[in-house]
A and B are shown apart, each in its own frame.
Chain A
């Protein structure tokens, strides 16, 4: 029954969204193809690399293994939603730059979203705990040292 569509109403980056989505679509497909939110990267498509990480109701999920129809009634945040009114970056984004936690940048939106949830909790965590929290994201160029440095730095500042 191809082309079977269902209405999804949700909040994406603070705005109400209503879309008729194909039941076969992943949330990743919906965010990228219908809403143009291309910070959400299509990496492994099996929930291993974390490049498609978005925040749903305050929790990180891999949007590639999440059906778009499940998004109904949810509050979804992507990297685009972090942008300030004058294009400002958030503190964690700035710190990724300062700490050299970016190389090719493909994994960066996913890492930033994972870090954002962690930092918004306001907890002070050990480096080991930070690494555990960030363990659902893979980086294939810079490695993890500078990413952990960036998260640790912002955590100490706040």
Chain B
């Protein structure tokens, strides 16, 4: 038995907003693969829960009239990976969330839950940052859109006010069309492990000119929140694709990230692999764009 004081099921977004107003102390539960474990550990023991997993309008992936891709917050990881729109347009995100936990966890864990936990190690986070995703947040006062890059406030803290619900993750058309990307998760085990460090690189390549037209680089577990490497990005933009580019990537991100010492890995080790995985992720992203990674 879980130490839960009550469970309320929300069938619609409106329902969830009403329930949050009626039960201001209640916690939101989506897939449960984090919340239930926290309750088991006694951290949220005795909570009232509002279940949002059955809200149909928040489940699934679709494209709107602007060709933005919307991912419902309670869409399980495995459904994102297998979705045709994701495979065709933003495969980098599908492959990234395919590295969460193990198969059973990916069948229940949701992308919205992953984001709202505010964990810097969330496997969805680096790629969502590199895609400049926008978050649709609904509350009693109406809805607002928050860039994901402004959503993470600190470890376990996100820009979500009481009574508000993350309903959709929006990947604007201009942020994915013509882009390819790759996420590398560095962890001790291949499954059921939390990232020691993660890096997602999304880029646009000018194949005719052999240039890196645009690039967005984000690290997980390299700072208290997922970290976009804006300086490195501006340094790399417009540069020819060759060995110098990768070398610059490697050295520049090491200057820009600020990982910590923890029992998982030392700061020095994280800096070392940080440069390496950023370089490899860029090589792979360039390769996916149909370019030779050496630019010839």
**A contact set with B: CB distance below 8 Å:** 1, 4, 6, 22-26, 29, 45-48, 50, 53, 59-62, 65-67, 69-70, 114, 132-137
CB distance from A40 to the nearest CB of B (A): 13
21 contacts between A and B (CB under 8 A): A23-B4, A24-B7, A25-B2, A46-B40, A47-B36, A47-B37, A47-B101, A47-B105, A53-B104, A61-B108, A62-B104, A62-B108, A69-B9, A70-B54, A114-B104, A133-B103, A135-B102, A135-B103, A135-B191, A135-B192, A136-B191
A4 to B2, CA, bound (A): 13
Q: In the complex, what residues of A have CB within 8 A of residue B104's CB?
A: 47, 50, 53, 60-62, 114, 136
- The interface on chain B, measured as residues whose beta carbon lies within 8 A of the other chain's beta carbons, has a size of 27
Which residues 7-63 of B have a CB within 8 angstroms of A?
Answer: 7, 9, 32-33, 36-37, 40, 51, 53-54
Contact present for A61 and B4 (CB under 8 Å): no
A66 to B105, CA, bound (A): 10
A97 to B155, CA, bound (A): 47
Contact among B51, B105, B191 with A70 in the assembled complex (CB-CB below 8 Å): B51
Contact among B2, B32, B192 with A136 in the assembled complex (CB-CB below 8 Å): B192
Contact present for A23 and B6 (CB under 8 Å): yes
Contact present for B108 and A65 (CB under 8 Å): yes
New A-B contacts (14) at CB < 8 Å, excluding given A65-B33, A132-B190, A132-B191? A23-B4, A24-B3, A24-B4, A24-B7, A25-B1, A46-B37, A60-B107, A67-B2, A69-B9, A70-B51, A70-B54, A136-B101, A136-B104, A136-B191
Chain B, Cβ-Cβ closest to A56: B107
Q: Mark B93-126, 1 if CB is under 8 A from A, else 0.
A: 0000000011111011000000000000000000
